[in-house]
Amino acid sequence: MPNIHLQVVAPVPTTFFHCMHCEEFFQLAGIGEKVHRVELEQYPETFIQDAAKLAEWLFDLAQRYGDRLRIQVVDPQSLQGFFLCMRFWVRRYPAFIMQGRKVYVGWEREALERILQDHPSKLPESPELA
CATH number, domain containing residue 101:
3.40.30.10
- pTM, full prediction: 0.75
Report the relative pairing of strands 69-74 and 95-98 from DSSP bridges. unpaired
In a domain, 88, yes or no: yes
- Categorize the per-residue pLDDT at 123 as very low, low, confident or very high, splitting at 50, 70 and 90: very low
Q: How many domains does the chain have?
A: 1
Domain that holds residue 8: 4-14+48-118
In a domain, 37, yes or no: no
pLDDT score at 2:
57
In a domain, 110, yes or no: yes
pLDDT score of 129 more than 50: no
In a domain, 101, yes or no: yes
pLDDT score at 73:
96
Q: Taking a C-beta distance cutoff of 8 angstroms, is the pair 105, 8 a contact?
A: no
In a domain, 33, yes or no: no
In a domain, 24, yes or no: no
Element (H, E) at 98: strand 95-98
Of the candidates 90, 96, 123, the residue with the CA atom closest to the CA atom of residue 108: 96
Of the candidates 84, 107, 78, 82, the residue with the CA atom closest to the CA atom of residue 97: 84
- Categorize the per-residue pLDDT at 27 as very low, low, confident or very high, splitting at 50, 70 and 90: confident
Q: Is 99 left (phi over 0), alpha (psi -120 to 50) or beta?
A: left
pLDDT score of 17 more than 70: no
pLDDT tens across 68-122, in order? 899 999 999 999 999 999 999 999 999 999 988 888 999 999 998 888 888 765 5
| Residues 6 or more apart whose Cβ sits within 8 Å of residue 22 | none
- Categorize the per-residue pLDDT at 23 as very low, low, confident or very high, splitting at 50, 70 and 90: confident
pLDDT score at 121:
59
In a domain, 71, yes or no: yes
Give how far the C-alpha of residue 71 lies from the chain's centroid of Cα atoms, to the nearest Å.
8
In a domain, 65, yes or no: yes
